[in-house]
Chain A
Amino acid sequence: MAEKAAARVEAARLVAAFRAAGAVEVETDILQPAEVLLDLYGEDIRARAYVTADPVRGEMMLRPDFTVPVVQMHMADGAEPARYCYAGEVFRKQERPSARRAEYVQVGYEVFERNDPVAADAEVFALFARLLAPLGLRAATGDIAILTAAVRGLKTLETRKAALLRHIWRPRRFTELLDRFGGRAPVPPSRQALLRALSAGERPGSAPHVGLRSKGEIAARLAALVEDAGAAPISAEEVARLEDLLNLAAPGPAALAHLREMTREMPAILPAVDRMEARLDALAQAGIDIGTLAFEASHGRTTLEYYDGFVFSFHAANPDLPPVASGGRYDALTEVLGQGRSIPAVGGIIRPGLVADLGGLGPC
């Protein structure tokens, strides 16, 4: 990747362009409290972020991304609507020797806007597309909200839907759960034995109670297991439709037509598909060639799990390179960090070091 100086030049150009688009430039600390990030991302972030100790403030992390501190700052005292931009280093541990940098510059643009989310989605994407146009990148889009709506619309227990929703971002576990809830995977022998014992009225286990997880919590899960065992499997048709949706990859208009078709069997996704159509219209109006814009229903399923709507990325031809830019909508994150308040938000980041490697943007 380019020298930092070259990355800084591209970063300055991008920041100037984001300011021209109406964003206020903000700064965040490099040292971030680890607790918030760990609570949000779990152990995965500990494997990826540099953790250090502050004698007074406790466990701290070198900023692994800007989104969390920018959202916190906005939720604490931001006026609405708001557009922010920033540029600075982020730090990601690399577990294997690779071309990927452990320390690199990100430039970002975030929009907090309550009234017209579709327009905000299109604004961010079209701005990124315009700025990155000299590099000839391939763009890909997706929409997590369509996936979550499809899961919520399944005719099955709420507990099963909640389990599937938790694992949207872990495709392997999601598939395993779907196989089990769909009756395609056998019930583990230990579960069968437990259910037999419970149905015979036996209170399983004679071990003394230890630990913080209470007897009430254990009893609640046993009851949930009995309920689950008594519920019909998710029908093969519903499972097939969900898999069809997850595998959908087509240019925007073709993907939309396919999804429209699917709404006849999956009415639950209708509002999300309507939003996608409005977004495509808004993108077309902003000058994006939607006829060639890739839509992949599973796009964003393997990233950090805070996107919950529109997602996008821009890629160079070399598949070994990370995305040059990526972003999406993260309404739920503002709720988690807003302590009772929330605001629809969308944004994205560009890696100016990669931009410089690919020849740079020139004055923009």
Chain B
Amino acid sequence: MLKLGVPSKGRLMEQCFDWFGARGVKLRRTGSDREYAGAVEGVDGLQLVLLSAGEIPRELAAGRIHLGVTGSDLVQEKLADWPSQVVELAPMGFGHADLIIAVPACWPDVDTLDDLDAAAAAFRREHGFRLRIATKYHRLVRDFLTRHGVADYQLVDSQGATEGTVKNLTAEAVADITSTGETLRANHLKILSDGLVHQSQATLYAAREADWTGGRRATLARLASRLGVSAGDLV
């Protein structure tokens, strides 16, 4: 059996079922509304596993599921050197969200990463500590800022209500997911013009570490052809 991990609830699950359904693979939940069980019709040898979207990268990395649907932001944040652990089979065209860097709208002097770097240097001199950027996307944000040569900042962990950290004086800037920017504006923040860290969308991945023996590669090839995607170097 090939195990396919899919987000277990909400809009992401529905859109995922729709995406597979449009390609002739019918996924559905079974049992009661509250029971995390599912079934597949249209392809033999495929088993549906309902999981929290946040846990799917880890399950893929461990090879406990063969295929998984989750946000590209989660995979790239949670997996070190992600291309060595998973194969991206298909961006699915929904679940769009941008990981961006935002600063207070009352900073007219800061519009670019270059400005942020200069403001961070001055801030550190004035306050004696590095300018704080609140985020839960530590790897993505740190890699991005290192790549662009921004210094004198520190990341502080924020697992929720990140936009509120500036007003609460626990951070000077934020790096967070946004789709419309409404929450940012409501909290008097603005996005840096070159502050797009990652454009995320729901993506179908295959796990390099999973057990691909016993005819599973053939099942993957059949599924990939049904879905109209390439299985990369896995088949």
Chain A residues within CB distance 8 Å of chain B: 38-39, 42-44, 46-47, 95-97, 162-163, 166-167, 170, 172-174, 176, 180, 188, 190-191, 194, 204-205, 207-213, 217-218, 220-222, 225
The 24 sampled A-B contact pairs (Cβ below 8 Å) are A42-B151, A42-B152, A43-B145, A43-B155, A46-B138, A95-B81, A96-B84, A97-B81, A166-B151, A166-B152, A170-B149, A173-B148, A173-B151, A174-B149, A190-B112, A207-B105, A207-B188, A208-B106, A208-B188, A209-B106, A211-B166, A211-B169, A218-B109, A220-B122
Residue of B111, B129, B151, B187 near A167 (CB, 8 A) is: B151
Q: Roughly how many angstroms separate A42 CA and B131 CA in the complex, as a whole number?
A: 11
CB of A6 to closest CB in B, whole Å: 29
Q: A42-B153, A166-B121, A210-B106 are in contact. Are A47 and B142 (CB under 8 A)?
A: yes
Quick check: A221 and B119 within 8 Å, CB to CB? yes
Q: Which of B115, B118, B130, B131 has the most CB atoms of chain A within a 10 A radius of its CB?
A: B118
Q: Which residue of A lies closest to B130 (CB)?
A: A42
A330 to B151, CA, bound (A): 20
Per the bound structure, the CA–CA distance linking A14 and B156 in Å amounts to 41
Partner of A96, one of B80, B122, B150: B80
In the complex, the answer to whether B106 meets A218 with C-beta atoms within 8 Å is yes
Chain A nearest CB, measured from B155 CB (Å)? 6
Q: How many A-B residue pairs have CB under 8 A?
A: 113
Q: Are B104 and A211 in touch, CB under 8 angstroms?
A: yes
Closest residue of chain A to B189 (Cβ to Cβ) is A210
Given the interface pairs A173-B117, A210-B104, the reply to whether A225 lies near B149 with Cβ below 8 Å is: no
Which residues from chain B contact A38 at a C-beta distance below 8 Å? 154
Residue of A nearest to B166 (CB): A211
Let me know if B108 is at the binding interface, CB within 8 A. Answer: yes
B114 partner residues in chain A, CB cutoff 8 A: 176, 180, 188
Question: Considering only CB atoms, which chain A residue lies closest to B128 in the complex?
Answer: A39
The answer to whether B148 and A211 have CB atoms under 8 Å apart is no
* A188, B151: Cβ atoms closer than 8 Å: no
CB nearest neighbor in B for A203: B108
Nearest CB of B to A246, in Å: 15
Contacts of A176 in B (CB 8 A): 114, 149
Known: A210-B188, A212-B127. A44 touches B146 (CB 8 A): yes
Contact A218 B149 (CB under 8 A): no
Nearest Cβ in chain A — how far from B82, in angstroms? 10
Residue B126 CB within 8 A of the other chain = yes
Known: A176-B114, A208-B188. A190 touches B193 (CB 8 A): yes
Cβ of A303 to closest chain B Cβ, rounded Å: 14
| Residue pair B188, A43 in contact (C-beta under 8 Å) | no
Q: How far is the CB of A220 from chain B (nearest CB, A)?
A: 7
Residues of A within 8 A of B105 (CB): 205, 207
Provide the residues of chain B in CB contact with A95, threshold 8 Å: 80-81
Q: How far is the CA of A47 from the CA of B190 in the complex (A)?
A: 27
- Specify which of A162, A170, A194 is in contact with B109 (CB 8 Å cutoff): A194
Knowing A188-B193, A217-B126, A221-B118, say if A170 contacts B151 (CB, 8 Å): yes
Q: Which residue of A lies closest to B185 (CB)?
A: A207
**B109 with A225: CB separation less than 8 A:** yes
A194 cross-chain contacts in B, Cβ below 8 A: 108-109, 111
The answer on a CB contact under 8 Å between B166 and A163 is: no
From the candidates A172, A190, A205, name the one contacting B106 in the complex (CB within 8 A).
Answer: A205
| B:118-170 near A, CB below 8 Å | 118-119, 121-123, 126-127, 129-131, 138-139, 142, 145-146, 148-155, 166-167, 169
**Which 3 pairs, one residue from A and one from B, show the smallest C-beta to C-beta distance?**
A173-B149, A207-B105, A204-B108
Q: A213-B107, A218-B109 are in contact. Are A39 and B149 (CB under 8 A)?
A: no
Across the interface, which residues of A come within 8 angstroms of B193, CB to CB? 188, 190
Task: Report yes or no: A221 in contact with B122, Cβ–Cβ below 8 A.
Answer: yes
Residue B172 is within 8 A (CB to CB) of chain A in the complex: yes
Assess A191 versus B111: contact at CB under 8 Å? Given A96-B81, A167-B151, A209-B106: yes
A5 to chain B, nearest CB (A): 29
Chain A residues with Cβ under 8 A from B107's Cβ?
205, 213, 218
Given the complex, which residues of B lie within 8 Å of A213, measured CB to CB?
A: 104, 107, 119, 123, 131, 172
Q: Which chain A residues border B166 with CB–CB below 8 Å?
A: 210-211
Q: Which residue of A lies closest to B143 (CB)?
A: A47
Which of B142, B149, B154 sits near A172, CB closer than 8 Å?
Answer: B149
CA distance A329 to B136 in the complex (A): 37
A335 to chain B: closest CB distance in Å?
Answer: 16
Known pairs A211-B167, A220-B122; A46 contacts B155 (CB<8 A):
yes
Please measure, in the bound complex, the distance between the C-alpha atom of A134 and the C-alpha atom of B233, giving whole angstroms: 45
Question: Is A190 touching B172 in the complex (CB atoms < 8 A)?
Answer: no
- How far is the CB of B73 from the nearest CB of chain A, in Å? 17
B residues in contact with A207, CB < 8 Å = 104-106, 188, 190
Q: Write the chain A residue with the least CB distance to B132.
A: A212
Which residues of chain A come closer than 8 Å to B106, judged between CB atoms? Answer: 205, 207-211, 218
List of B residues within 8 angstroms of A44 by Cβ: 142, 146
Chain B positions within 8 Å of A190 at CB level: 111-112, 193
Q: Whole-angstrom distance between the alpha carbons of A46 and B130 in the complex?
A: 14
The complex places the Cα of A167 from the Cα of B148 at a distance, in Å, of 11
B139 / chain A contacts, CB cutoff of 8 Å:
47
By a CB distance below 8 angstroms, the chain A residues around B117 are 173
Name A228's closest neighbour in chain B (CB-CB): B118
Residue in B104, B131, B167 with the greatest tally of chain A CB atoms within 10 Å? B104
